[in-house]
């Protein structure tokens, strides 16, 4: 039997609403980190969410971000011109904790290939936030 592809998130334990809210929280955290680099701030940013281009509805959550692009057009798709932020997979750890696998390209100037990271989002006061002090449990 052939191995099955990894599902984007556990639909039996994570609702679509929670998955998108966790994706938003994770991207906000990544954007804050990327904002520390003047070089990365100058680039156009492209977002993929669970293997798909982010919808205009999802991107509207980031209306304060003027460098986000909704779709790839004539832009040069090189890490020197575009920063790619991808939310790949989410896995529920417990009722208030979800582990998220991400990938970025063009965000770390010292890397010329995709950089994968596992982050942990925690539900606090009704909102999902990335807690960088929590170890990932993917």
List, for residues 61-88, the tens digit of each pLDDT value. 999 999 998 877 656 666 678 899 999 9
**d(C-alpha 22, C-alpha 127), whole Å:** 9
- Note the pLDDT tens digit of each residue in 83-100: 999 999 999 999 999 999
Residues 6+ apart with CB under 8 A from 54: 47, 48, 70
Distance CA 77, CA 93 (A): 35
Residue 114: φ, ψ to 5°: -60, 140
85 bridge partner residues: 47, 104
Enumerate domains of the chain plus CATH numbers: 16-62+79-131 (3.10.450)
DSSP structural state of residue 9: B
DSSP symbol at 11: T
Whose structure tokens read 């994770």? 26
d(CA 15, CA 82): 31
């Amino acid at each position: 039997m052939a191995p099955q592809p990894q599902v984007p998130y556990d639909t039996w334990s994570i609702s679509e609403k929670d998955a998108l809210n966790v994706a938003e929280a994770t991207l906000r955290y990544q954007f804050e980190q990327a904002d520390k680099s003047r070089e990365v701030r100058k680039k156009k940013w492209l977002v993929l969410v669970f293997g798909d281009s982010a919808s205009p509805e999802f991107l509207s959550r980031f209306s304060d971000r003027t460098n986000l692009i909704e779709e790839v057009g004539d832009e040069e798709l090189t890490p020197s011109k575009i920063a790619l932020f991808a939310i790949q997979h989410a896995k529920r750890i417990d009722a208030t904790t979800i582990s998220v696998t991400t990938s970025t390209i063009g965000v770390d100037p010292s890397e010329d290939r995709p950089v994968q990271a596992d982050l942990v989002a925690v539900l606090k006061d009704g909102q999902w936030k990335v807690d960088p002090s929590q170890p990932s449990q993917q």
